[in-house]
Amino acid sequence: MVEACKSRFADLGNARFLQDDARGLSHCPDSYFDVAVFSFNGIDVVDMAGREAVLQAVRRVLKPGGIFVFSFHNAGYLEELYQYHWQKNPLRWWPNYQRKQHIHSLNGPKDQYQGKSYFFLKDGGEDFRLDICYIVPTHQLQMLDVAGYRLEQAVASLSGKEVSPDALDASDACWLYYRCRKI
């Protein structure tokens, strides 16, 4: 991907493309970026210590008042994840059923996750090879607070609707997007 971007955007004089570990961002200077984006729930594939390291590393490379945007899997989606949903296309019925069965067999009963502030399970990402973190939205807020961020906006996946801070834990959106400011 880095090589493809370097080739495609070679005429941009102010663009750099490099590969780095989000838990350290060792190739990035301190207080350099106005905005950092961690897309497609990437933060959910590291353990909790790694998640905290990502928040600290991103904070380090952001300028004062910089913006951090990321998405994560919402623990409030657990019920939906474990349910079978009929789809309009009958060709999707069997694969959808198989996926739900696979979720059950790999992760056990959903009740074991109820009431936890976060949990890891295999939800089908990368053909069930990854343990994905699902986190309670207010727990993620607490982590952001400790790391030195302030939430400015939360948005539900699919609907694109803003979710107020007092309604975050009631959201059943699969993913939530947070826009935070470094304080």
pLDDT in tens, 40-90: 999 999 999 999 999 999 999 999 999 999 999 999 999 999 998 888 999
Instruction: Tell me: pLDDT of 14 over 90.
Output: no
Dist. CA 48–CA 60, nearest whole Å: 18
Do residues 9 and 15 touch, judged by C-beta distance below 8 A? yes
CATH 1.10.150.80 fits 2-182, yes or no: no
Distance CA 35, CA 63 (A): 8
Among 11-15, 106-110, 145-149, name the one with the lowest average pLDDT.
Answer: 11-15
β partners of residue 67: 35, 181
Beta bridge partners of 91: none
The pLDDT assigned to 87 comes to 86
pLDDT band at residue 4 under the 50/70/90 scheme: very high
Tell me what the mean pLDDT of segment 35-42 comes to: 94
Q: What is the pLDDT of residue 113?
A: 97
What's the pTM value of the predicted model, to 2 decimals? 0.91
The per-residue pLDDT for range 113-171, each reduced to its tens digit, is 999 999 999 998 889 999 999 999 999 999 999 999 999 999 999 899 999 999 999 99
Strands 132-135 and 118-121: antiparallel
Q: Which pLDDT value is given to residue 18? A: 84
Token couple for 126: 């990368």
